[in-house]
Amino acid sequence: MKKISGGKALAVAAVAGGAIIASVAPVMADVSAQSPSLSAVRVEGPAKLKAWGAVAEVQVTYACPLGTSSPYLNVSLTQNVWGRIASGGASKSVTCTGGFETTTLSIAATNLAFWPGEAFAKADLSAWPNSASHEAVIKLQY
C-alpha cells in the first residue's frame, strides 16, 4: 500500500471539493434566481401620459417570495409644472409568483395635470414579512 503525503492528500481533497462545488453552484444559482427570499420593486420609465396629462400610466417591476401574504403595491408621482405641483398616487393588490412581474398602475393627477418631462416616482411594495421601495426620476411622455 502506497502512502500519500500530507501535501498530496490536501491537494486531492481540494480538487475533489472544488469539483463538487462547481457541479452544485449552477443549481443553487438557478434556484435563488427563481425564488427570491426578499422583495424587490423598481419604477420603470418612461411613463405614458393619457387624457392630456390627467393620467400617467406607470410600469412597476416587482418580485416577492411565492406565497407571500397580501402583497400590496403603492406608487406616487410628483412633478413641478411651471412652478406648481402636479401629483397623484395609485395602489394595487399584486400576486407573488417567486419571480419578477411587471404591472401598470394608472395614476390620476390631482391639483394639476402632468406634463411631458421629468417627474419623481416612488414605489413601495408591502409583502409581509419584508417590504421594498424604490425612488427614481422618470420621464413622462405622450
Residue-range domain boundaries for the chain? 1-34, 40-141
Q: Which of 53-57, 64-68, 87-91 is the least confident region?
A: 64-68
- Express each pLDDT in 76-99 by its tens digit: 999 999 999 999 999 999 999 999
Q: How many Å separate Cα 115 from the centre of its chain?
A: 26
d(CA 114, CA 87): 8
Q: Which CATH architecture has domain 40-141?
A: Sandwich (2.60)
User: What's the confidence (pLDDT) of residue 31?
Assistant: 43
> CA–CA distance from 120 to each of 39, 44, 139 (Å)?
22, 12, 9
Which cell numbers in the block locate residue 111? Answer: 391639483
d(CA 39, CA 58): 19
User: What's the confidence (pLDDT) of residue 2?
Assistant: 55
Mean pLDDT across 109-125? 97
The sign of the CA dihedral 30, 35, 41, 44 is positive
